[in-house]
Amino acid sequence: MAFETETPDLVADLNARLRNASPQEILREAIDYYGDSLALVSSFGAESAVLLHMMAQIDKDVPVLFLDTGMLFGQTLDYRKTLATQLGLTDVRDLRPSFADLATQDPNADLYKTSTDACCNIRKVLPLDRAIQGFGAWITGRKRFHGGDRLRLAVVEKAEGKVKFNPLANWGKAELDAYVAEHDLPPHPLVAMGYPSVGCWPCTSPVEDGQDVRAGRWAGQDKTECGIHVARAPGAVHDVGGDI
Ligand code: SF4
């Protein structure tokens, strides 16, 4: 298992070697390197079925971390259950905000109205930080075509002491759609209602044809990421806003 002797060079070498690899090759390499120290983080959102299906074809027992923020659409919670069952995933873990954080910072569940950064911090960033402690590396579903900071997304990167594999970084919408059709994967129910990206209900809007995939996330705000994928200065409070 390589992570115990991991060096910046190793991450750079992995990235150089895998930058044009297929998503499945990247997933297999991640498993080879990290084994039991690897998790996949999924929002069970609009495009999540592709990566989850690929992983299920390789290893159904890899831990899948799902952030149940307490603010998700009911359709997402239903989709999480049906998709996990259909794919045979054996270890989907529901991550929830701590009772203490909710009681002290968001007792009325309306923090998103005054600070989306603080709300994302207690409902997404901190629960994932706690859950990811025991892992050396994780897999995300981010893609460059989503734009913003993701335009420069590497296939393998290191952040906050963890290696992140982004197997779908190179894929565009056409490849995702073709994979879904080939494997007859069930769509998230909100996609047909105009939501190409799905997060929490207070912060997700449907988009018009031709708008960016993530245009409906925190629409009208500068915020584009929840904070999970934002680099933090040493000792910084997790106060910047992304999705998985
Ligand atoms: S996306 Fe909105 S509701 Fe969800 S955690 Fe962030 S601010 Fe809160």
Mean per-residue pLDDT for 203-220?
A: 74
pLDDT at 243: 39
Least Cα distance to 65 among 83, 87, 39, 85 occurs for 39
Tokens found for residue 78: 């239903």
Cross-strand bridge partners of residue 163: 137, 158
The verdict on whether 226 is a catalytic residue reads yes
Mean per-residue pLDDT for 36-51?
A: 95
Helix (H, G, I), strand (E, B) or coil at 124: helix
CA nearest ligand 1 atom 2, residue: 203
Whole-number Å distance, alpha carbon 218 to ligand 1 midpoint, is: 9
Q: How far is CA 144 from the centre of its chain?
A: 13
- The per-residue pLDDT for range 150-204, each reduced to its tens digit, is 788 999 999 878 999 999 999 999 999 999 999 999 999 999 988 888 899 999 8
pLDDT at 239: 28
CA nearest ligand 1 atom 8, residue: 119
CA nearest ligand 1 atom 6, residue: 120
What percent of the chain lies above the pLDDT cut of 90?
70
Whole-number Å distance, alpha carbon 130 to ligand 1 midpoint, is: 18
Whole-number Å distance, alpha carbon 116 to ligand 1 midpoint, is: 6
